[in-house]
Amino acid sequence: MRFPDAEVTTLDLIRHGEPVGGRMLRGTTDHPLSERGWQQMQAAIDALMSDGMPPWDAIVTSPLARCREFALWLGEELDLPVTVEPDLAEMALGDWEGRTHAEVRALEQGDDRQAALWHDPSRTSPPGGESAAAFDIRVGSAWQGLLEEPPGRHLLVVCHLFVTNALLRQVLEQPLSRILAFDLPYAATCRIRHERHALGETSLVEWIGR
């Protein structure tokens, strides 16, 4: 704790594991986890529960199957309440949904909008998909909802790569052009600590990408 007598809310973010179908531009395409994906997430959760006891008071999850199904299973295993938050769904990728990176490059016929999206999402959107600005507003709404939790709570947030990036952007106050700054592997975890104190409120990142 950086501020004396602060009220602390802790958020652990976990990206989903590998979905059925492997790597692709999935977006809101609702694929479940593969067997390997389940194993990846179970290993990540075991690492967070280093003393064998769950540190969380509740679980919040994206509505998409690759997050929701694991969150509901874990909530039952650990006897924790689970909330499905629609605003934590992955960015809608329009015409790219359900295609591999190679398929999208072929579809674009030399105009590599994938690379342009990673370079500066504020200037490029997937064709027919969600803009970075709209996505940021949506995830920002979810972020504010998480911070409204009573102080002292420790939440596990099960979400996606782009969503994790957008949540971290809220903390780091990066420009919209850097909303996709972190390329995290499946089942990567991050921890954010939000402190309410005499000077106001401060969000701190404890670690990214374990």
* Known catalytic membership, residue 101: no
User: From the candidates 16, 31, 160, 194, which is the catalytic residue?
Assistant: 16
16 is catalytic: yes
Q: Which CATH superfamily is domain 7-208 in?
A: Phosphoglycerate mutase-like (3.40.50.1240)
Tell me how crowded residue 202 is: count the other CB atoms within 10 A of its CB. Answer: 14
Instruction: Note the pLDDT tens digit of each residue in 135-191.
Output: 999 999 999 999 988 888 999 999 999 999 999 999 999 999 999 999 999 999 999
pLDDT in tens, 37-60: 999 999 999 999 977 788 999 999
Give the residue extent of every domain in the chain.
Answer: 7-208
Residue 177 half-sphere exposure, CB side, CA atoms within 13 Å? 4
Helices and strands of the chain, counted as H and E runs: 6, 6
| From 18, 31, 85, 90, the catalytic residue | 90
DSSP label at 31?
A: P
Band the pLDDT of 117: cuts 50, 70, 90. Answer: very high
**Measured distance between the N- and C-terminal CA atoms of the chain, rounded to whole angstroms:** 21
